[in-house]
Chains A and B, each alone.
Chain A
């Protein structure tokens, strides 16, 4: 019993520690300047960094725009979706 408890707690702790990626995907409508502006507004990135991420979205179809703790990642995804950007959340590899 004690072994099982330890195993469970260890797994939970590991799951919580896994970083999460916030991923923005390309779409046919959003303007490139708008995507850059949203990334600057939400993450506080400077224009150069935001533009590089926007170009990744445009050219590669997706870009990991932020990685970190799950709760914060969820918040960012919600914010990006509120700005109508196609955004997903995935566990970092």
Chain B
């Protein structure tokens, strides 16, 4: 839920909720090809590509990793604070982009692996367990992104 200081608060109710939150960063780093590399590979102009490989891709990689690390630390700290039971997780305005970035990385990695496509056409009940769990995580990530976008980033 949105907070008065322009951030977001997520209330975990039990250990499963903390597990779900933890899955954001787990999914984010599970992709086969690093996102920075994939984006960098889009630059194919022979004059630009070497500079992109040398300077831009490492910068992108550092930014993406730093976002995931930030979110990992925030979740771990909030979980510790609550003893793994009911408790809040706060996302301040300053942290919002890190969160959005980590959630996007998680969704991209899930999409790469499971190829869901537009989610509105999928009935989770029709999916086998592993795919269903991944689909629900992706939907959860997307919902948090929507809240961040609506209440914090914009």
Binding site for B on A (CB under 8 A): 25, 27-31, 33-34, 37, 74, 77-78, 81-82, 84, 86-90
Given known contacts A34-B149, A81-B56, is B42 in contact with A88 (CB within 8 Å)? Answer: yes
Contact of B153 among A29, A37, A82 (CB under 8 A): A37
* 0/1 interface trace, chain B 141-154, chain A, CB 8 Å (1 if under): 01001100110011
Given known contacts A28-B117, A37-B153, is B39 in contact with A86 (CB within 8 Å)? Answer: yes
B78 within 8 A of partner (CB)? no
Contact of A89 among B45, B105, B116, B117 (CB under 8 A): B45
Total inter-chain residue pairs, C-beta < 8 Å: 57
Binding site for A on B (CB under 8 A): 35, 39-40, 42-45, 48, 56, 59-60, 63-64, 100-101, 104-105, 107-108, 111, 116-118, 142, 145-146, 149-150, 153-154
User: Main SS of chain A's interface residues?
Assistant: mixed
A53 to chain B: closest CB distance in Å? 17
Measured between beta carbons, the chain A residues less than 8 angstroms from B100 are: 34
User: Main SS of chain B's interface residues?
Assistant: helix
CB closest chain-B residue, reference A27: B108
Closest 6 CB pairs of A and B: A81-B39, A29-B107, A88-B42, A84-B104, A29-B108, A33-B149
Of residues A25, A78, A84, A90, which shows the largest number of chain B Cβ atoms within 10 Å of its Cβ? A84
